[in-house]
Amino acid sequence: MNTFSLPVNTIIKKFLNKDFSDALSTQIIIRSSKKCSLNLAHLDSDSYFRLVDAIISDYENIKPLGGYNAFLKKRELLSAIETMH
């Protein structure tokens, strides 16, 4: 089983830090993982996709200022993980 904790700490965190502070990025990741009942230390690919969906859902609720496109943000997160395989 692949461990996706590295992508969570690098890809997702870096992605969120573009729009949010480090502390808020961490809160979004933790809240999203709890919402999906995920263990961040041991994510398989399905769990990673569920986490991305939850994070994008948070984006839709928060809507940072500027050019926001949920589809593009989701595609960016999913394509980043595909390059790691």
- Residues 47-79: tens digit of each pLDDT: 888 999 998 887 777 766 555 677 777 888 888
Q: Count structural domains, the chain.
A: 1
Tell me which residue range forms the domain holding 23.
5-82
* Predicted TM-score (pTM) above 0.85: no
Give the per-residue pLDDT at 2: 41
**Mean of per-residue pLDDT scores for the chain:** 80
Cα separation, 75 vs 72, in Å, equals 5
Q: Is the pLDDT of residue 24 over 70?
A: yes
Q: Is the pLDDT of residue 29 over 80?
A: yes
CA nearest 56: which of 69, 39, 74? 74
The full length of the chain comes to: 85
